[in-house]
């Protein structure tokens, strides 16, 4: 689902919105979006560093348990001072400074993770890593880090895992498969790391899984949906449902609810996620009595949104399925603008983006998007209430799925807190944990056993853009 360059126009958070869906919900809201201490094994780098220049060949420069700032553009003098204090081993000073920073900006998950780590100090702890594109896709990275930070804080405040606190190491992978391979090798080499939360895009997760699998280091992706991850190996899991679940939800909506059987598909042929979703939706449509009448690769030279729609209409299309990824959101918006509500439109989870509300506007009204979770479906659930209290707004599905990934790994650590123990516990057919979205259970393939939900775009004021995502009513 989601790939490199996921547009940082999510105004802070798609993380904060119904996740987004809350549209303004924070992201939307114009900003209103026993393990040893790993930090002792890392160099004390310049706290002003932003986690290495994209493409940097030094993996350790991309890892931080609090010794440097990795998220670009989200800092303050107190945060920098707190990071410097952690690097110097002065944890009381770090705690004071990071608490002060969060008083100024409570929505900064990196600062909260570092604060939680500073409170642990040099005590024994269990270490998990979270990989996110903290430079190339800041908003999605923030959404992911919020889920980890919220779970870490809740677990540690409750006494940790069997009395041992949870330490988090943040990893910047640029959502780049080559970089992800390098940082995965660095994580595998450090036996303090007992599990990995990530990676973001499907291509990146596939690349990293080739490193984690033979080493027996569990990876739980909260955002990668490509069907290619299914059954990659017994060390690869995900808390987000695969594209097969998304395709089923979209197909049934098109055929049974909208009564639209002839569908034109738009996809990015260079994206594993996009191709996977296209293939799965094609299969689902034929199974449900529909058919694909046209396919358009939006990254082909000369792609013409208006011309493609005319062609699709001539071929009998009654609906459009936008299966593009984050990197090709612009092309999806071009199709919406050219369509002007003539054909029904549905989209994959990557379209759950504040820019769809802000720039799509009236042309996106009634568009249905499949998501793993939506804040408005259960705003009084414990996770949703705690998220509002912690972050000051609603959060989106990426934050919820990342929270679940962290909780699942913590639950696995309660057995035998080793890499082998975590792998065995998560792979047990009887494994379950209570997450943000209900019970966390995995299929033998490592996929999350959970259906997708549908949201639609309607006029509204919650997001601040004039349009909101709301649950599709049965």
pTM, full prediction: 0.83
Which residue(s) pair with 265 in the sheet?
A: 295, 321
Q: Where are the domains of the chain?
A: 14-238+383-440, 243-371
Please answer whether residues 459 and 466 qualify as being in contact, where contact means their C-beta atoms are separated by less than 8 angstroms.
Answer: yes
- DSSP class of 398: H
Pairing of strands 63-64, 166-172: antiparallel
Residue pLDDT, tens place only, 206-250? 999 999 999 999 999 999 999 999 989 999 999 999 999 999 999
Q: How confident is the model at residue 37 (pLDDT cuts 50, 70, 90)?
A: very low
The span from the CA of 12 to the CA of 10, in Å, is: 5
Structure token digits, residue 129: 């890593």
Superfamily holding 14-238+383-440: Response regulator (3.40.50.2300)
Residue pLDDT, tens place only, 355-385? 999 999 999 999 999 999 988 888 889 999 9
Please answer whether residues 196 and 212 qualify as being in contact, where contact means their C-beta atoms are separated by less than 8 angstroms.
Answer: yes
Please answer whether residues 297 and 274 qualify as being in contact, where contact means their C-beta atoms are separated by less than 8 angstroms.
Answer: no
Between the two ends of the chain, the Cα-to-Cα distance in Å is: 25
Q: Would the pLDDT of 419 be above 90?
A: yes
The arrangement of secondary structure in 243-371, i.e. its CATH architecture, is 3-Layer(aba) Sandwich (3.40)
Rg for the chain, CA atoms, rounded: 21
Our CA angle for 243, 326, 335, nearest 5°, is 95
What per-residue confidence (pLDDT) applies to 435? 94
Overall average pLDDT of the 164-168 stretch: 98
Residues above pLDDT 70, as percent of the chain: 88
Q: Give the C-alpha distances (Å, rounded to integers) separating 103 from 79, 85, 99, 369, 392.
A: 11, 18, 6, 35, 12
Phi then psi dihedrals of residue 315, to 5 deg: -90, 10
Write the Ramachandran bin of 17: left for phi over 0, alpha for psi from -120 to 50, otherwise beta.
Answer: beta
Contact partners, residue 302, CB within 8 Å, separation at least 6: none
What per-residue confidence (pLDDT) applies to 231? 83
Regarding predicted confidence, which is higher, 59 or 150? 150
Pairing of strands 193-197, 126-132: parallel
What per-residue confidence (pLDDT) applies to 292? 98
Is the fold of 14-238+383-440 the same as that of 243-371? yes
């Amino acid at each position: 689902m989601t790939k490199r360059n996921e547009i940082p126009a999510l105004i802070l958070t798609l993380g904060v919105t119904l996740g987004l869906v809350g549209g303004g919900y924070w992201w939307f809201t114009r900003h209103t979006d026993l393990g040893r201490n790993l930090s002792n094994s890392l160099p004390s780098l310049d706290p002003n560093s932003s986690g290495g220049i994209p493409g940097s060949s030094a993996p350790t420069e991309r890892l931080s348990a609090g010794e440097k700032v990795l998220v670009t553009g989200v800092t303050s003098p107190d945060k920098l001072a707190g990071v410097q204090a952690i690097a110097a081993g002065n944890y009381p000073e770090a705690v004071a400074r990071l608490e002060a920073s969060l008083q100024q900006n409570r929505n900064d998950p990196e600062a909260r993770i570092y604060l939680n780590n500073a409170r642990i100090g040099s005590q024994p702890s269990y270490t998990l890593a979270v990989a996110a594109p903290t430079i190339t896709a800041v908003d999605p990275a923030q959404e992911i880090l919020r889920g980890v930070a919220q779970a870490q804080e809740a677990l540690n405040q409750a006494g940790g895992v069997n009395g041992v606190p949870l330490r988090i190491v943040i990893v910047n992978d640029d959502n780049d498969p080559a970089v992800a391979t390098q940082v995965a090798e660095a994580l595998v080499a450090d036996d303090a790391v007992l599990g990995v939360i990530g990676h973001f895009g499907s291509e990146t997760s596939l690349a990293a899984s080739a490193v984690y699998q033979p080493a027996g280091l569990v990876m739980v992706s909260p955002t990668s949906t490509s069907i290619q991850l299914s059954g990659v190996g017994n060390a690869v899991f995900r808390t987000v449902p695969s594209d097969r679940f998304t395709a089923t939800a979209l197909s049934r909506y098109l055929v049974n609810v909208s009564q639209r059987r002839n569908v034109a598909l738009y996809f990015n042929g260079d994206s594993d996620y996009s191709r996977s979703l296209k293939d799965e939706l094609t299969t689902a449509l034929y199974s449900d009595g529909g058919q694909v009448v046209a396919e358009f690769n939006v990254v082909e030279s000369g792609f013409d949104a208006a011309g493609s729609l005319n062609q699709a209409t001539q071929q009998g299309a009654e609906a459009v399925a936008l299966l593009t990824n984050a990197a090709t959101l612009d092309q999806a918006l071009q199709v919406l603008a050219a369509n002007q509500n003539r054909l029904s439109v549905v989209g994959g989870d990557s379209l759950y983006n504040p820019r769809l509300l802000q720039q799509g506007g009236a042309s996106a009204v009634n568009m249905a998007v499949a998501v793993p979770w939506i804040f408005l479906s259960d705003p009084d659930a414990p996770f949703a209430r705690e998220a509002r209290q912690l972050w000051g707004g609603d959060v989106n599905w990426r934050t919820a799925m990342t929270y679940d990934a962290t909780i699942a790994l913590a639950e696995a650590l309660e057995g035998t807190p080793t890499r082998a123990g975590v792998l065995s516990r998560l792979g047990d057919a009887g494994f379950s944990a209570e997450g943000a979205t209900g019970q966390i259970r995995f299929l033998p393939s490592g996929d999350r056993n959970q259906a997708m939900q549908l949201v639609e775009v309607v006029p509204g004021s919650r997001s601040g853009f004039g349009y909101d995502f709301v649950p599709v009513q049965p």
